[in-house]
Chains A and B, each alone.
Chain A
């Protein structure tokens, strides 16, 4: 809780609930209290709730939902293709310790050379910014964010930028600054990212299918699909319908991926496809082929903001005769390796599907 945290005004409450929080959160929050408004838009429900009085724990719940606090970092990224050879590291270094965007107080930290003795090829940088909410809502101000990003030279006209996101929006901060900045350097800029809108429904299924079998690399084998989330657009509604595949369907989906039979032929997948659903995220469990380690990794196409991200949701070790799974600590460097291997595989699969 911030020291200067005051009870929000009705305007702030209505703004936060109506414009910033997701509709899904708003419904859940209201319905927990036994409040339903049928055939309403988000603003109407928000207005109704703004006339109520909330205790501290409820305000914190609203505040956290609005700030989308995401304590687990994920990896997102993109490639930048340029018209002419260009030293991106030099550009980033020139902006060291400067505020490069007044709108969000975006500040570039120093860009550090790769630690070659650890075999890392990426330059590491840090960015901080302030996420401003519309209407200068005091209730949400003070949300200062910072994150690390990594830059690799693929070739003189191609650079890879990966972002260790504490929030999905972090990668968009880099993208939104980098593209116009490079254009001002008289560069032709093509930002290439993994974008679900560029894939058909069938291609999305194929994407997750291949990612399952190849995503973690040769040293890991897929054991099961732990979760599958699907989304369907609803033209009449403000938000898409989101659902999870029931657990009894996941074994069939896992089998299809393991056996290399097309996932689209799975009856549940076919039914979802017919119903207008698209795959939006899949969580995979991999076991290492020669050590007792287990990784649970999620690949997700987020909609708001539109970002593809990878997340190591859990890392475990099989122990004892019964091979009990126990959570295992993992270094940041190892986590980064896992994330980047997965992201690179995803990019390869995506590029192949788009050809």
Chain B
């Protein structure tokens, strides 16, 4: 299985960078595609280093980024385990490496325990052929066990990447229709029962929410010429059935986000138009106290133009 090391690989790296930057991640701590010295005395190649401010913990997370660009026809499931293992070892060698810290002092300010492996299959219309095999390969992959420093590793591919671009498009669409208050948009990090942090809102999506089935956000909308109002926004990637919406409803209640009279937008990624039409009245009834309304998110087959444009730039 041959990764196209030249144009396509670099392009995908730039495209992925654009997606992550749109989610509030910062890549300024290092250039892309660099070799860095590890604790083992060896040089390790990484495609990028990012950081973001975590809304739950209010600390900086450091992320080692690997970009892979392939065709579905050259997909080998066994590679997933190798890549995960290699990325983990790489982080292990770098995160406490004095040479690495000297070269990139900003890394000291972060918790450099994260790896993100973004695999993009360029023949996206054929991704359906390998979706099941990829899912199985992720389940079968092995990571280092035992005691020691733990690393968090995330593997995303076409499905997750397209969800992220759709999320960004939905956010931009909301901002476009709320130009006066477009800067008010932020993701919600609720105060959760088992942790001791307050609720925070920020325009940065952390790794946990990046992989969640729904994401909560807020913004301010101009109500009329006299005033504005706070709105609750849910970006929902789950199934469109009644039990799923009931659970979402109870989640909003539990998190004290469900406020009578407040505007609620539920942007949904799944389509299933026929079945959703049948249950929509009942589901709207669930959220009626909050003036709930449903909006579509894009369901793209390929990354949008703004991503491709970012990839084309040198």
Contact = CB atoms under 8 A, between A and B. Distances in A.
A286 B84 CA distance: 44
Given A5-B250, A33-B211, 10 more contacts: A7-B254, A9-B192, A31-B141, A38-B143, A39-B143, A39-B149, A53-B212, A55-B244, A55-B248, A236-B145
A47 B208 CA distance: 11
A74 interface: no
B151 A54 contact: no
Contacts, number: 124
B60 interface: no
A37 B149 CA distance: 10
A36 B143 contact: yes
B195 interface: yes
Interface string B143-155: 1111111111111
A14 interface: yes
A31 B215 contact: no
A40 interface: yes
Interface stretch (A56-64, A172-180, A257-265, A347-355): A56-64
Contacts of A56: 238-239, 241, 243-244, 246-247
Contacts of A53: 209, 212-216, 251
B138 A32 contact: yes
B141 A7 contact: no
Interface of A: 1, 5-7, 9-11, 14, 28, 31-40, 44, 47-48, 50-59, 234, 236-237
A43 B145 CA distance: 14
A58 B213 contact: yes
A14 B241 CA distance: 26
Contact of A54 (B145, B147, B212): B212
Interface of B: 56, 84, 88, 135, 138-139, 141, 143-157, 160, 192-195, 208-209, 211-216, 236-239, 241, 243-244, 246-248, 250-251, 253-254
Contacts of A7: 247-248, 250-251, 254
Contact of B239 (A32, A47, A50, A57): A57
7 cross-chain pairs, A with B, having the tightest CB-CB distances, nearest first: A55-B238, A7-B251, A10-B192, A55-B213, A34-B155, A40-B150, A56-B244
Nearest to B246: A56
A34 B146 contact: no
Contacts of B212: 52-54
Given A54-B213, A58-B213, A32 B139 contact: yes
Contacts of B237: 55
A31 B244 contact: no
Contact of A34 (B211, B243, B244): B211
Contacts of B151: 37-39
A1 B243 contact: yes
Nearest to A13: B194
